[in-house]
A and B are shown apart, each in its own frame.
Chain A
């Protein structure tokens, strides 16, 4: 079907309201839709009050970790005599995730506004939008939006006449997944090889150029504007299950479903209805087998787990996985799980920066074993070895790329062990042969 789709009536479009409206990309069009009102309001407030509203709203990081945004902003101590920086992590590279891409493609001014609000709230004069190297189209729209905003005096030396300086720079990455890790992003932004840094010190203490820095996801920053306009209570009420997960969330759906795309639902939406109603269920003649609900680095869910899950931070954990970035990868019964997992592992092996031993060697080793099993050359010991390597790769390295590679492998072997064993015992995987509609 065409893309972007017409919103399903069960969606709650707050951030994705103007997807598909080419006019919304321009400054005039954006203003017509109420754009920059939130920034105007913010610049009339005390930064601490903005932080409090965001804290109150329960907004949590949309990039994957789900850290409370207001609390993150409150780590930036005003008056410490150092320049503060805001980084917007637009290096959306998690396999299966493409919500930030849509946000920047259709509502680039929303991100400029979000960056300006965030920068003002944390006492920063400079915001960097670190955008993924492959995102040529979003980059184009973002650069145009920043240019327009500067020309209109919305950002710059005297943002909206407030006397405050807010600069927004768009920085294009060079195409490394690891640069989406916040400290690697900062290294890359500083012009060095994108290797994650040891934490502590955390970015709020020593971030970009050694200065206090806050890093937020695109979706997080964009959500700040409607929160300021409509109030924390309004946002907090958008929660269908756990009160710790508030607001709406964009989910990008890909894989073996009828209607892949980006959907915005209220936190706590039933995953089963999401998959079968909004996304239209499995392809003709197929059955869903598994779901990776939050981008490649979260545990794989079986359909039983997925169908019982409520879509929020706590719900996905209860369902044996994580909300992650909201990149839903749907796998049906025509897909051999070993092939799927081997492909994921190959991705992580390719993208490991190679600093830490367990990650550099472990991701590649895991991939080699998985591909050998896939090709029918596996041995009985391989599964134990894989689990053991996965154990060595978990919680022992500077960043979590290593853990991310181990996650689908461990969960995959635990939940779909039969498919691995069948291949090892010499039985080929026989996909369903039903015709695809």
Chain B
């Protein structure tokens, strides 16, 4: 787009300059004008069927579908003129004549574009007096349920499956007003990325089984975060209700995940709501681990670590900040981590986007910070070293190796079995409860923020480790994760120049990360 010719036009009285070939709808967005639309989606080929985005273009004989009309020099576009409003009012009325108007029991209610635009510019009443068409709801397989009565046949789902997932499982069956979304014989929405059709559906026709009847849209708190479930680092919105993560949905990022996220990542959030948590700092006394104050636990830990070589077994789910602080307590020791693996599942329509084999958020960051990826987690543990178990449960690891350790410190959200040997347990927040950054497999550093409250006396890992360093006399205490990151950026050359402010919510690549082209919007008719 660098060399593209710039076209100047006027939209709703505002001057707009955009590259040649831009659609009126996208050009209007740059001027802060949202032209109502249903079938158009920037991640899908253009269909031009809902006819909602009709706008008046001066000197044109007919209203133009702004999603399918490219800009022309000197064009004067009216989005809210009487003619365009009248046309959209007409479309809204027609979309509603066969709609069941069952918003009170519809999962989409509150985040429904049919609802929004109807309230915004639709008619107050309907003139439709005839019986409504009825089709029964259908299980589409995977995580998806189809409620045809609510469907407005925008065909976003059909186009996603065909042109982005390259698994044409859906079609438009029948025609005219009998038309509905159908599934090809023997096909199910079992593609690893199929659940994106639920997000793409602008109305309540495609619903997530997982989220069904779980919450009303307006009861949710939404937090910008990163999907922690693989190394792709898809940008997500974590949605919570009453301090429970109830849904994760993709947040657009043209450099990472376009508009999508995989089903596995999307549905794998229950561990963040784990109830069996370490909630209080504990220190070993004569009769076992007993609850202690944070001050006592931290100083007990500092005493245990001081002057010792420390071996850290860390979780690749921990943030860059926490991993960095862990490296500061090693005192000549080392660090190791392991990562769960699964099958890679690419989304063919988007370049370099896949559910990755390695299923943790910060594998690349951990390696960058000097932790060794190994299956033999305790191999590097020297006789008499202090073993710090940070976020790792050691499940399946030969526990006898632990006995080599001079002392064991557990820093974790849940208690691993090895806690039985720990002299101190420091309870930390899990991924959804704290703030930090993670580095994805292409070396992109991205921020995640706190979506829910941590239970009990639990504290964020960066705070706990910062206090510990302070107690060990190594470093002034940190008050914000951004301060930890600043320290990291100043001491690790790969992170040079990065800060929370410059990262924003779309992230930036590490200094030495390979250059990647932004994922271009999917071309028309692709």
Which A residues are closer than 8 A to B by beta carbons?
A: 176, 178, 193, 198, 349-358, 360-365, 368-369, 372, 379, 381, 385, 391-392, 395-398
Contact = CB atoms under 8 A, between A and B. Distances in A.
Contacts of B97: 361, 365
B181 to A, nearest CB: 11
A363 B49 contact: no
Given A193-B172, A392-B90, A392-B94, 16 more contacts: A350-B176, A351-B176, A353-B175, A354-B153, A354-B172, A357-B51, A357-B95, A358-B91, A358-B94, A360-B153, A364-B176, A365-B130, A372-B129, A392-B93, A395-B62, A396-B63
Contacts of A391: 90
A360 B130 contact: no
B3 interface: no
A80 B54 CA distance: 34
A395 B51 CA distance: 11
Contacts of B50: 356-357
Contact of A355 (B49, B95, B130, B178): B49
B153 A372 contact: no
Interface of B: 46-52, 54, 61-63, 65, 68, 87, 90-91, 93-95, 97-98, 127-130, 152-153, 171-172, 174-179
Contacts of A396: 51, 54, 62-63, 87, 90
B95 A361 contact: yes
7 contacts: A198-B65, A198-B68, A353-B175, A354-B153, A358-B90, A364-B176, A392-B94
Instruction: Please indicate which of the listed interface residues B91, B172, B177 has the most CB atoms of chain A within 10 Å of its own CB.
Output: B177
Contacts of A198: 46, 48, 65, 68
B128 A365 contact: yes
Given A198-B68, A357-B95, A362-B94, A398 B49 contact: yes
B87 to A, nearest CB: 6
Given A357-B95, A372-B130, A397-B51, A392 B179 contact: no
Contacts of A362: 94
B88 to A, nearest CB: 10
Contacts of B175: 176, 178, 351-354
A146 B172 CA distance: 35
A393 to B, nearest CB: 9
A360 to B, nearest CB: 5
A358 B87 CA distance: 10
A363 B90 CA distance: 13
Given A352-B176, A364-B177, A395 B63 contact: yes
B98 A361 contact: yes
Contacts of A395: 61-63
B174 A354 contact: yes
A357 B176 contact: no
Contacts of B177: 349, 352, 354, 360-361, 363-364
A357 B52 contact: yes
A398 B48 contact: yes
A158 B61 CA distance: 46
A1 B171 CA distance: 48
A360 B172 contact: no
B340 to A, nearest CB: 43
A198 B48 CA distance: 7
A357 B36 CA distance: 14
A395 B49 CA distance: 14
Contacts of A379: 129
A398 B47 CA distance: 10
A65 B512 CA distance: 62
B49, B95, B178, B179, most chain A CB atoms within 10 A:
B49
Nearest to A350: B176
Contacts of A363: 176-177
A385 to B, nearest CB: 5
